Structure 1
Amino acid sequence: MEDNNPATSLQNLSRRELRDLVRSQLQMLLEQDNLQGAKALLVPVQPADIAEAIEGLPETMQAIAFRLLSKDEAIEVYEYLDYSVQETLVEELKRQEVLDIVDQMSPDDRARLFDELPAKVVTRLLAQLSPEERSATALLLGYESGTAGRIMTPEYLSLKETWTVAQALARIRSLAHVSETIYYLYVTDEARHLTGILSLRALVIAQPDQIVGEIMTREVVCVQTGTDQEEVARMIQRYDFLAVPVVDTEQRLVGIITVDDVIDILEEETTEDIYTLGGVQSGDDSYFETNLLTVARRRVVWLFVLLITNTATTAVISSQQDVLQQVVALAFFIPLLIGTGGNVGAQSSTVVIRGLNTDEIRKGKAGRVIRREAIAGAFLGLMLGSVVLVWAYFLQGNLAVAIAVGVSLVAISILASVSGSALPFLFQALGLDPALMSAPFITTVVDVLGVLLYLNVARLILDI
C-alpha cells in the first residue's frame, strides 16, 4: 500500500534535495490549509532546514508555518532565521509568543537580533525580559558593534583552582544545559580573573580527588572585549579552537566566543571583502530584499570615481595624437594592451589582498611580495608579448609596430604586477582597508599608465 505520509518522502535525500522538497511541500500544504500535514512534514526535519524552508515561503505564510512548531523547536528554529524574517515574526506573533522565544534565545543571538530591530521594539522587549536575561543582553549591547564583547556569550562554565575533579564534574552536570559549550572549562579566582583553562577530556580522565589547579593549563590564549571580531575569527581559525575566552581590561572573564559564531563572522567579512573588491558598497540585506534604487546607489559611487579616473586615459591619448596620426596601426592595439595589463594587475592585487586578509602575507614582507610579483609579471609579459608580437606582425605586416606592441606588453605586465601588489600595502600602511584597492581601481590605474608607456615606447622604437 502506498504511504502518503509527507514525512516518509524525506528519507534518503541529499541535503539540498531535502531543503527544496520541504520548502515546496510546506507551501503546498499551507495553501491547502492542511496544517496537520504541514506539521507532520516538519517533524523529522532539522531546525536549520526548517528555518530555510520558512524563509522561502511567502511572507503571509511564514508566521503560520512558525506557529506549527513546538515551543522548544520554535526557539531553536528562530535563531537560524534571517534577521528580516525574525523581524517580521516579531510583528506577526502575539506579544507573549515573542517574549517566550526571545527570552529563551542565547544572549549573543538575542543581541544580534536587537541590532536589526527598530529601537522602540528593542526597548519594549528588553523591558519585558526576565531580569537575568535583560542583564546579560544589556551587557553585550553595551560593547561596540563588531567587537569581541558584542558577539560573545556570557553562558560559560567556570571552575576554581581549589576544587577537586569530582566537584568540577558535579558543577558541569548541574550547569551544562545552560552553557554554550562544556568542552572548554575556564578556571577563575575569587575576583573572576582568568587563571587557566581545562578541557573536558582532561577532566574526565583525571582522578576524582585530583585538584583542578594541578591539571589545568595556565597559558591561556584569550581576547579583550574590544578586540575586532575579524581578529577573533582568525585566532580561532589559527589555533583550531572550539571557543576562545573574552576578558575585560582587568583580565576578568566575561564571556566566550564559540566557533559557530566565528563561521558567521568569516562569512560576513568575506562577503564585505568581495563587495569591496568589486567596487560595491556592502549591505546587510540580501540581494532580493534590497530596493533596486539602493542597489544602484551602492554601486554608483565607485563607478563615478572610475569614470573620472578614466578620463585620464583620454587625456593621455589626446596628448600623443602626433604618434597615432603618423602610425595609425598603433591605435588598434591599445584595447589589447590595457585590457591585458588590467587583468594582470587585478590578479596581483587579488592575491595580495587575500593574503593580507588571511594573515598569510604580512606588512613586513611587502618588499619580498612586490619583487615576486614583478618577476611573475616579467615572465607573464615575455610569454604574452612573444605571442602578441607574432600576431601583430601577422595583422599589420609592420615589424617595428609589432616590436613596439610586444615590448610594451612586457613593460605593462611588470608595471601592472608591481602596482597591483604595492598599492594594497600602501592602503594598509595608511590605515585603510586593502580591499579598497580593488580590481576596478587597479585596472583603471594600469589603463592610464599603460597607454602612456605604450605610446612612448612606440615613439622610441619608431623614431617618431
Structure 2
Amino acid sequence: MTDHLTSIQTGLRSELRQLVRSQLHLLLEQGNLEGAKALLVPVKPVDIAEVIEGLPESMQVIAFRLLSKAEAIEVYEHLEPTTQQALLQKFKHQEVLDIVDKMSPDDRARLFDELPAKIVRRLLPQLSPHERQATAILLGYEEATAGRIMTPEYISLKETLTVAQTLERIRNLANASEVIYYLYVTDTSRHLAGIVSLRDLVISSPDTALGDIMTRDVICVHTDTDQEEVARMIQRYDLLAVPVVDREQRLVGIVTVDDVIDILQQEATEDIYALGGVQSDGDNYFQINLVTVVRKRVVWLLVLLFTNTVTGSIIKSQEDVIAKMAILTAFIPLLTGTGGNVGAQSSTVVIRGLNTDQIKDLGSGKVIFREGMAGILLGLILGGLAMIWAYLILKTHFLVAFSVGISLVGIAFLASVAGSFLPFLFRSVGLDPALMSAPFITTVVDVLGVFIYFTIARTILGL
C-alpha cells in the first residue's frame, strides 16, 4: 500500500513539473516575468532545477534570474553540470561570484571539476578567504575519494561540554553546518574521539557531560577512501553522514547521505552504460552534443566490427563443409546470439556482485565454477530445445540437429565461463570490468563459438 501511494505521489509530482514547465515556457514567451516569478514561488528548488533544464537555453538564464539569491544558489546546486556551465557563460561576472561563493564547498568543488581550468583559475582567487581555503583543500584530494566529496561544514565539540552548553552551541552554529543530527567530539588536536546524536542530547540531562554519553567506537573513513566504498559504508550502517579523517586521525569533514545517493546513481549509470559498450564520464547522456555521443559509442562498435570480420574469416575457412551441408549456416545466428546472451547474464551478475561485495567471500574460483555449471545446465536445456526444433519443425537431418544441440551446450559453457572470468581478470589489472567485459565476451563467443560449431559438425557429420 505504501509503495502504491509513493508511486502515485511520484507520478503527480512528475505531472506537476511538466505543467509548471509548459506554463513557465508560455509566460516567458509572452514576456510575463511577474507571472513566471509567481509561478515558481511554491515550487521546491530541486523541481525548479528540473523545470529550468527542460527550457530552451535562451530561456534558462531568464528563468534563473527570477529567483531570489538564496533560492538561486540552492537551485543551481541541483542543476546538471552542463546546464551549470551554460548558465555561467551567460551570467555577469558578479552574478557568478555571488552564486559560487555561497555554494556548499563540496558542491563548489564538484562544479570546479566540470569547469574549464582557465575559468576555475579566474574564479578561485576571487572567492572569500574562508570559502577559497575550503575549496582549495577539497580540490587537493584525488577525484572520486572521500576527501573530494566531503563537506568541511560540521559541528565539532569537546567532551567536557555539558548537554546544555552543547545545545546552545548548536543553536549558534546550525546555519554553518550541513548536518546537525550527528555531532563530532574531538580532542585539542582535532583527533576524532567520539560521536553524539541529536537524539542522545535531547533525552539526556542538561548537566551531563558529552564524554558520558558519546559513542567512542566511531565508524569513519579516510580522505583517500574510494567514494564507492564510502557509499557502501553509509548504506551498510544506515548512516546519515560519515566522518572523514586524515592520516593522523584528525577530523577534516563529513560525507552526507545525499551525496552518497548521487554517487550510487552515478556509478550505477556508468555501469549500465559500460555494459552496453558506451563510455561515460558521469555526464547526462541526453544533454551532450551529437559528436560527443558518437565518440563515446564508436570505440567498442569498431571492436565488434573487427570481431565480425574475424568470425566471417572463420566461416569462410569452412567453405568445404558449407558446400556439402549449407543448412549449417542457418544456425550460426542462433548459436552466437544465444551464447552472447548467456555470457551477458553471467558477466552482469558477476559485475554486480563485485560492485556490491556480495561475492567477496566466495572467491573468483568458486564463482567461475558455479557459472560454468550453470552454463552446462542452460546449454543442455537450450540445446535440447534447439535440437528438437531443428529436427521436427525445420525437418533438418538428425545429425545436423544433434550438432546444433551439442554445440549449444559447449557455447553456453564457454560463454558462462568467459562472462564470469573476464570481469575478475579486468578488475585485477585495474580496468573497468563493466566497460571491458561486454565486447570481449562477444568476441570470445562469436569467434570460438563458430569454431566449436563447425568442429563439432565436421566430427559428427564426418565431413
TM-score bucket (shorter structure) = over 0.9
Shift in Å at residue 141 of structure 1? 1.2
- Are 2:454 and 1:455 equivalent residues in the alignment? yes
- Are 2:443 and 1:444 equivalent residues in the alignment? yes
- The answer on whether the counterparts of 2:318 and 2:454 sit within 8 Å (CA) in structure 1 is yes
TM superposition score normalised by structure 1: 0.93
Aligned to 1:369: 367
> Cα deviations across residues 98-125 of structure 1 (Å, max 9, x unaligned)?
2222221111111111222233332332
- The answer on whether the counterparts of 1:75 and 1:105 sit within 8 Å (CA) in structure 2 is yes
Shift in Å at residue 156 of structure 1? 0.4
Aligned to 1:267: 265
Aligned to 2:34: 36
- The answer on whether the counterparts of 1:363 and 1:425 sit within 8 Å (CA) in structure 2 is no
Which SS does the other structure have where 2:160 is aligned?
A: coil
Q: In 2, distance between residues paired with 1:206 and 1:367?
A: 53
- The answer on whether the counterparts of 2:386 and 2:404 sit within 8 Å (CA) in structure 1 is yes
Aligned to 1:57: 55
Letter of the aligned partner of 1:242 in structure 2?
Answer: L
- The answer on whether the counterparts of 2:52 and 2:63 sit within 8 Å (CA) in structure 1 is yes
Aligned to 1:6: none
Residue in structure 2 matching 1:238, options 231, 236, 250: 236
> Cα deviations across residues 276-306 of structure 1 (Å, max 9, x unaligned)?
2111221344334323222222222112222
Aligned to 1:293: 291
Aligned to 1:387: 385
Shift in Å at residue 182 of structure 1? 0.6
Letter of the aligned partner of 2:454 in structure 1?
Answer: L
- Are 2:154 and 1:165 equivalent residues in the alignment? no
Structure 1: which 5+ residue stretches go unaligned? 1-10
Letter of the aligned partner of 1:65 in structure 2?
Answer: A
- The answer on whether the counterparts of 1:148 and 1:229 sit within 8 Å (CA) in structure 2 is yes
Letter of the aligned partner of 1:369 in structure 2?
Answer: V
Q: In 2, distance between residues paired with 1:409 and 1:84?
A: 47
Q: In 2, distance between residues paired with 1:159 and 1:292?
A: 52
Aligned to 2:321: 323
Shift in Å at residue 258 of structure 1? 0.3
Q: In 1, distance between residues paired with 2:436 and 2:130?
A: 46
Query: Percent same amino acid at aligned positions?
Result: 70
- The answer on whether the counterparts of 1:350 and 1:439 sit within 8 Å (CA) in structure 2 is no
Q: In 2, distance between residues paired with 1:183 and 1:98?
A: 32
- The answer on whether the counterparts of 1:342 and 1:446 sit within 8 Å (CA) in structure 2 is yes
Structure 2: which 5+ residue stretches go unaligned? 1-8
Q: In 1, distance between residues paired with 2:172 and 2:234?
A: 28
Alignment of structure 1 residues 6-85 onto 2, 5 Å: 14-85=12-83
Shift in Å at residue 38 of structure 1? 0.8
Q: In 2, distance between residues paired with 1:243 and 1:262?
A: 9
Q: Which runs of 4+ in 1 moved over 6 A?
A: none
> Cα deviations across residues 314-362 of structure 1 (Å, max 9, x unaligned)?
2322333333232222222112111111111111111111111121122
Alignment of structure 1 residues 116-265 onto 2, 5 Å: 116-265=114-263
Q: In 2, distance between residues paired with 1:364 and 1:299?
A: 34
Shift in Å at residue 363 of structure 1? 7.3
- Are 2:404 and 1:405 equivalent residues in the alignment? yes
Aligned residue pair count: 454
Shift in Å at residue 219 of structure 1? 1.3
Q: In 2, distance between residues paired with 1:331 and 1:176?
A: 72
Aligned to 1:430: 429
> Cα deviations across residues 232-278 of structure 1 (Å, max 9, x unaligned)?
11111122111111111111100000011111111221122122211
Q: In 2, distance between residues paired with 1:146 and 1:437?
A: 20
Aligned to 1:277: 275
Q: In 2, distance between residues paired with 1:431 and 1:164?
A: 50
Q: In 1, distance between residues paired with 2:290 and 2:70?
A: 38
Q: In 1, distance between residues paired with 2:99 and 2:456?
A: 70
Letter of the aligned partner of 1:63 in structure 2?
Answer: V
Q: In 2, distance between residues paired with 1:87 and 1:223?
A: 31
- The answer on whether the counterparts of 1:329 and 1:396 sit within 8 Å (CA) in structure 2 is no
- Seen in structure 2, the aligned counterparts of structure 1 residues 187 and 84 have a Cα distance that, compared at 3 Å, is same
- The answer on whether the counterparts of 2:146 and 2:222 sit within 8 Å (CA) in structure 1 is yes
- Seen in structure 2, the aligned counterparts of structure 1 residues 365 and 184 have a Cα distance that, compared at 3 Å, is same
Aligned to 1:3: none
Aligned to 1:91: 89
Which SS does the other structure have where 1:198 is aligned?
A: strand
Greater CA drift, 280-289 or 249-258: 280-289
Shift in Å at residue 127 of structure 1? 2.1
- The answer on whether the counterparts of 1:243 and 1:258 sit within 8 Å (CA) in structure 2 is yes
Q: In 1, distance between residues paired with 2:89 and 2:451?
A: 60
Q: In 1, distance between residues paired with 2:342 and 2:252?
A: 48
- The answer on whether the counterparts of 2:307 and 2:446 sit within 8 Å (CA) in structure 1 is no
TM superposition score normalised by structure 2: 0.93
Q: In 2, distance between residues paired with 1:424 and 1:12?
A: 36
Greater CA drift, 28-37 or 274-283: 274-283
Which SS does the other structure have where 1:254 is aligned?
A: strand
Letter of the aligned partner of 1:446 in structure 2?
Answer: V
> Cα deviations across residues 192-233 of structure 1 (Å, max 9, x unaligned)?
011111111112111111121121111111111111112211
Aligned to 1:343: 341
Q: In 1, distance between residues paired with 2:69 and 2:376?
A: 65
Q: In 2, distance between residues paired with 1:396 and 1:105?
A: 71
Letter of the aligned partner of 1:305 in structure 2?
Answer: V
- The answer on whether the counterparts of 1:341 and 1:409 sit within 8 Å (CA) in structure 2 is yes
Which SS does the other structure have where 2:161 is aligned?
A: coil
Letter of the aligned partner of 1:461 in structure 2?
Answer: I
Letter of the aligned partner of 1:427 in structure 2?
Answer: F
Shift in Å at residue 428 of structure 1? 1.8
Letter of the aligned partner of 2:130 in structure 1?
Answer: E
> Cα deviations across residues 44-77 of structure 1 (Å, max 9, x unaligned)?
1101111111111122222221121112211211
Which SS does the other structure have where 2:363 is aligned?
A: helix
